[in-house]
Structure 1
Amino acid sequence: MATTGSYYYGGQQGSGNSSWNSSAMKNLKKISPVVQNHLKRVYLSLSCALASLAVGVYLHLLWNIGGILTAVGTIGAIVWLLSVPPTPYNEGKRVKLLMAAAALKGATLGPLVDVVIEIDPSILVSAFVGTALAFACFSASAILARRREFLFLGGILGSSVSILLWLQLASGLFGGSMAVHTFEIYFGLLVFLGYIIFDTQMIIERADLGDHDYVKHSLDLFTDFVAVFVRLLVILTKNAESRSEKEKRKRRA
């Protein structure tokens, strides 16, 4: 009986997967060739921005340039990019500003990366690979899902970001406990994973309505990627420190 039941449910599950794959492919066909081409440009620009981010981190490791100035520079480059009209004439300038903002962001993250390397360099690789896999999975789910299925997340995610901002403000003014800091990290990770889905579907809908500003859309996804990467990096670093402390206690005992 157990074998029969297992086979029955296994057959049901297989049928469900086949149906899901079929519907997913139909949803993908609903995306016009123009929008598909736009998505290719968005993800290509995102890849270049991530490469610029890595260059910025490397420059900090060489010359220790990351800090408040690069953080302000990142904001300035982003504001400048958003202020430039998305016309064909300005396309090259806006791409350069995106790359500059990414490199400055990398330099700003340099001090954190430096600390992580001193603890365990493999954490950096694990955090990046984990972020890339999560980003790919959540982006794919948004692309293959029904049109506008996840747009309702906008209000929820906006409210969640407000909660994070208030928590950070309260921690800065009154001091925060370790529990609050841990909650901010994990809750923020969930929020920005949600933003990957939401922003991907928003990009598709905007492109379908004629908004083909791939530089701005790449910036949106770049922001999501970095936010997830930083939080995952902090989580893995804390876990490594906890394991190290436990090992030291065992050796002392």
Structure 2
Amino acid sequence: MATSFTNFSYERFMRNMGQKLEPSVRYHLSKVYACLTATCAAATVGSLIHLKGIWEAGMLSGLIALGLVLGLIFNPDNGKNFNMRLGLLLGFGAFTGHALGLLLEQVIYVNPAIVVTALVGTTTIFTSLSAAAVLAKRGSYLFLGGILLSVLNAMALISLGNLLFRSYFVHELNLYVGLAVMSGFVLFDTQMIMEKHRLGSNDCIAHSWDLFYDVIGIFRRLLKH
């Protein structure tokens, strides 16, 4: 019964996606999600390197990740540098995961089950919202961009102020609002990627980086809850 329901839901989803999206957009999204999956795998390897004690994470990990992002920014897609930019993206994923190993180590010390819960939660949230964005009316979530950026700026100011006041309530509020904002960015970024492609952008590396940032943001906040 459950298998039949799953097959029915998957078939219906694929049929709806085929009706709503042009073949070129579907193909571009498949490349974006393939790059995203590879980047998440690289992040997993990076985290394991820290957790296994092979190379402990520190400030250097964050600096290298920043350098790799700058490499992506200053080497835009020209149709001939895909492999180089993919390497930069995977490297960024690996060092982001390596830096995240510090938080994972603390969480595992408290309760390893939290990591599993955060992984399942992140996968569920991202998959559900991505599907919603793909199947929704064209451009219906693009209005979220300005709102989400404004909320992020407000959260940054509140966090700076909370360094002085050390309010537990503000800290918790920041986590929940941050989770909602990163979830909103999944909707926004997914539809923005489709619109950018329709306007001629085939940069699946940059587009997958946008979604990877959302995934890491959701995962990090679920770990801290």
Asked whether the two chains share a fold, i.e. TM above 0.5, the reply is yes
For residue 99 of structure 2, what is the aligned residue in structure 1? 108
For residue 123 of structure 2, what is the aligned residue in structure 1? 132
Q: For residues 210-221 of structure 1, what are the structure 2 equivalents within 5 Å?
A: 210-221=200-211
Per-residue CA deviations over 1:132-189 (Å, capped at 9, x if unaligned) read 01100000000000000111111110111111111122223x2431111101100000
User: Quick one: structure 1 residues 145 and 25, their matched pair in 2 at CA, closer, same or farther if it must change by over 3 Å?
Assistant: farther
Give 1:167's match in structure 2, choosing from 136, 158, 167: 158
Distance in 2 separating the partners of 1:23 and 1:94: 32
- Number of residue pairs matched by the alignment: 214
Task: Give the superposition deviation at 1:22.
Answer: 8.6
SS of residue matched to 2:152? helix
Task: Give the superposition deviation at 1:118.
Answer: 1.3
Deviates further, 25-34 or 125-134: 25-34
Task: Give the superposition deviation at 1:88.
Answer: 2.5
Task: Give the superposition deviation at 1:67.
Answer: 1.5
SS of residue matched to 1:85? coil
Letter in 1 for 2:126: F
| Identical aligned residues as a percent | 37
For residue 226 of structure 1, what is the aligned residue in structure 2? 216
- Whichever of the two has the greater Rg, that structure is 1
For residue 16 of structure 1, what is the aligned residue in structure 2? none
User: Quick one: structure 1 residues 124 and 27, their matched pair in 2 at CA, closer, same or farther if it must change by over 3 Å?
Assistant: closer
For residue 199 of structure 1, what is the aligned residue in structure 2? 189
Task: Indicate whether 1:35 and 2:41 are aligned.
Answer: no
> TM-score normalised to the size of structure 2?
0.90
Distance in 2 separating the partners of 1:201 and 1:86: 20
Unaligned runs of 5+ in 1: 1-20, 236-253
SS of residue matched to 2:28? helix
Are the aligned partners of 1:27 and 1:145 in contact in 2 as well (CA < 8 Å)? Answer: no
Are the aligned partners of 1:27 and 1:146 in contact in 2 as well (CA < 8 Å)? Answer: no
Distance in 1 separating the partners of 2:122 and 2:20: 28
> TM-score normalised to the size of structure 1?
0.81
RMSD (Å) for aligned C-alpha atoms? 1.8
Distance in 1 separating the partners of 2:193 and 2:174: 27
User: Quick one: structure 1 residues 149 and 109, their matched pair in 2 at CA, closer, same or farther if it must change by over 3 Å?
Assistant: same
